[in-house]
Amino acid sequence: MNHQRSLLVVFLVSILVFLVGVGALAAPFRVAVIMPSSINDMAFSQSMYDTLVAIQNEMGEDNFQFVYSDNMYVVSDAAAAIRDYASQGYDLIIAHGSQYGSSLMEIAPDFPHTSFAWGTTVDTFVDQGINNVFAYEARSEQGGYVNGVLAARLSQTGIMGVIGPIETGDAKLYVEGFKAGVMATNSDAVVNVTWIGSFSDVALASEAAQTHINAGADVLTGTAQMVVGAIGVARQKGVLWFGTQADQTSLAPEIVVGNQIYDWTVVLKSMIDLIKEGTLGGKAYALTLANGGLKITVNDQAIVGQTINDIIEGKIDLNLGEIH
Amino acid sequence: MIGSILIGILSSGIRLATPYLYASIGETFGQLSGVLNLGVDGIMLMGAYAAFFTVVKTGNLALGLMAAMVTGALLGLLMAFISVTMKAEQGISGIGLYLFGLGMSELLFKKTLGAVQTVNGFPALHIPGLSRIPVLGQIFFQHNLLVYIAFALVPLAWFVLNKTPFGLRLRAVGQNPQAADSLGINVNRMRYGTVILGGLLSGVAGASLSIALLNVFQQNLTNGMGFIAVALVYFGGWRPRGLLIGALLFSMVNALQLWVQVRGINIPSDFALMMPYVITILVLAAMAKRRVHAPAALNVPFERGES
């Protein structure tokens, strides 16, 4: 009797384990993201949102699901959200902003079976004995260099203006890369840089663009979400623009020449694979041109399209005399 | 060289001062009648959104401006109802209104437009003749319509406040509502009127950003400008001239620090960014001896029969 009962228990337990196992296999991979600005900011937050949508389209909704909290510019609110998502059992929680680092260092040890990621940074907190945090950054100086080379070729005045938020992180890398690209192409060129001290002051970004144009700049670039104000001014004044972080072409197709786009797919896919294998953190990633995380798009409407249009509409006089 | 820098700084400063002027003139009227409205920034955001959305959908700038005015006036009405009729604590309800405007403008933006885009806003209006004057023309007479209106409002507000019976009654309501009431002035109606006017002008302040100066809309477009506008009311001592000086000083120094950076003058950007705030504080400290008092009944709900 006793023997029979224990057999029954073993049988039931094994069924249970099997069901749980099947359940785990079939359960989708669930990601929660906390972002500092809006998912449609045409910059940093949007780059992550677009990546998550792309991954979901590829893996299917049955295998990959994500939720997000955007506009979490108050760090203490973000910390509450991170803790909340962690206790809800998400597989991966992404704190998409370097300002969330200290919160994550506090929260991650309380949820040792949950994986966290944050950026842009290189610090996974392994030195602090925390093993469930991934780090990611964007080597934005690479695309910055490409944009700089193009900008220097296109500028007629040889003066270029850059609008940055705060002198740190991927913004600083981008600006340094841009300057290096310009200087390598035209060592006589001038690159003027303004830091406006804010990621959200659209009005000041727009006035900075105006100031650059007054100082003779005919090509502008800038990074972070407040640059939409600068793009508005560039469009009005017919000055060329180079974008970074997300594709900003749709804001002003006539003047946005090219963009460096952050595509976090390589990073996130690798994290997902590691988590499925049981590694919850400890690795630092970087988006580069080499690994396809940084993409350069060129908008053929800005110069090529404009020229074609002008010829079609007869604005360009192609009367070159007798040639044939 | 120096000339072009000066022209750049002054015309930048005039543009940057525009939204502050609208918002702080409106707030001055409300405060003089005894109502502190801290929701200015939220109303600006709603006004900015309403104007932008209307222009995206219709392309009609006048309609966009009207949408901002109506939206602002309605939110002013809401603030008046809360603070005058319901007699709620003004500071707290103003913050509530701000948070409402911040969240609602973003929600509507996401649901109706989805992505950041640009519009063709009010174009620069070169005033015939005047805009040709060397230097002065470039500084003062090559702006868009909403910039001119903002600066025209300053003398107009001064005239209304100081030279009309309405202005006198308004001050009476803000200084001693009981006395004003006994003289037959309808205190609550006066306060409703000024808070609605304040809301309307805050709406226009928002529109001056979204369809005139920036021509984009983004979540939290105003970035706290409404609060600086409220501070300017105190800075300016509840006088239109004071508002003008405050708004221009703050904006010019901001424009100056941009120039300092563009010109590659070698000081840390952090220091340049501090300049507008440091100079504002210095000026305030230097002027601390002025005897300017807030309206006596500011922030106090009116109860008939109390004294």
- The string of pLDDT tens digits covering residues B46-70 is 999 999 999 999 999 999 999 999 9
Q: For residue A315, what pLDDT is reported?
A: 85
The structure tokens listed for B270 are 């952090």
Q: Is A202 on the interface with B (CB under 8 A)?
A: yes
Chain B CB contacts of A42 below 8 Å: 115-116
Is the pLDDT score of A114 beyond 90?
yes
Residue B5 vs residue B106, higher pLDDT: B106
Q: Do A192 and B264 touch (CB under 8 A)?
A: yes
Q: Which of B219, B225, B258 sits opposite A38 (nearest CB)?
A: B219
Secondary structure (3-state) at B133: coil
CB contact under 8 A, A40 and B19: no
Q: Which fold has domain B9-290?
A: ABC transporter involved in vitamin B12 uptake, BtuC (1.10.3470)
The pLDDT score that the predictor gives to residue A21 is 58
* Sequential DSSP letters for A268-304: HHHHHHHHHHT--S--EEEE-TTTTSEEEEE-TIIII
Q: How many CB atoms lie within 10 A of CB A122?
A: 11
Distance CA A46, CA A53 (A): 10
For chain B, the structural domain boundaries read 9-290
| Closest CA–CA distance from residue A77 to any residue of chain B (Å) | 15
Asked if B112 is an interface residue toward chain A (Cβ–Cβ < 8 A), one would say no
Residue B273, chain A, CB below 8 Å: the answer is yes
Measured in whole angstroms, the distance separating CA A162 from the mean position of its chain's CA atoms is 19
For residues B67 and B49, give the distance between their C-alpha atoms in angstroms, rounded to a whole number: 9
Of B117, B209, B270, the CB nearest to A203: B209
Chain B residues with CB under 8 Å of A77 CB are none
Examine the pLDDT at A151 and tell me if it is beyond 90. yes
CA distance B236 to B247: 9
Of the pLDDT bands very low, low, confident and very high (cuts 50, 70, 90), residue A124 is very high
Burial class (CB in 10 A: 0-12, 13-18, 19+), B281: exposed
- For residue A25 the two structure tokens come to 């296999």
Residues B159, A241: Cα–Cα separation, whole Å: 45
Does A197 contact chain B (CB < 8 Å)?
yes
Provide the strand spans (E) within chain B: 124-126, 142-144
pLDDT in tens, A274-320: 999 999 999 999 999 999 999 999 998 888 877 888 888 888 887 77
pLDDT at A16: 67
Confidence of residue A183 (pLDDT cuts 50, 70, 90): very high
**Whole-model pTM over 0.90:** no
Beta-carbon contacts of residue B181 (< 8 Å; ≥ 6 apart): B187, B302, B304
Among A38, A192, A228, beta carbon nearest to B106: A38
Among B218, B225, B262, beta carbon nearest to A192: B262
What is the distance in angstroms between the CA of the first residue and the CA of the last residue of chain B? 62
Peptide bond into A249 cis (omega under 30): no
- Please indicate if any CB of chain B lies within 8 Å of the CB of A71: yes
Residues 119-178 (A) with a CB less than 8 A from some CB of B: 161, 167
In percent, how much of chain A has pLDDT > 70? 95
Q: Which residues contact B34 (CB under 8 A, 6 or more apart)?
A: B173, B174, B177, B191, B295, B297, B298, B299, B300, B302
Complex ipTM tops 0.90 = no
Chain A residues closer than 8 Å to B110 by CB: 38, 40
Distance CA(A83)–CA(A69), nearest Å, equals 13
Three-class SS of A301-312: HHHHHHHHHHHH
The answer to whether A302 faces chain B, any CB pair under 8 Å, is no
Between A13-27, A158-172, B281-295, the lowest mean confidence (pLDDT) is in: A13-27
Paired residues of A220 in beta bridges: A161, A241
pLDDT of residue A6: 77
Asked whether the predicted pLDDT for residue A23 surpasses 60, the reply is: no
Please judge whether B262 and A194 are an interchain contact, meaning their C-beta atoms are less than 8 angstroms apart.
Answer: yes
In angstroms, the separation between the Cα of residue B215 and the nearest Cα of chain A is: 6
Q: What is the mean pLDDT of residues A200-206?
A: 94
3-state secondary structure of B70: helix
> Which of B1, B215, B219 to substitute to test the interface with A, most A CBs within 10 Å?
B219
Tell me the pLDDT tens digit for each residue of B2-48.
778 888 899 999 999 999 999 999 999 999 999 999 999 999 999 99
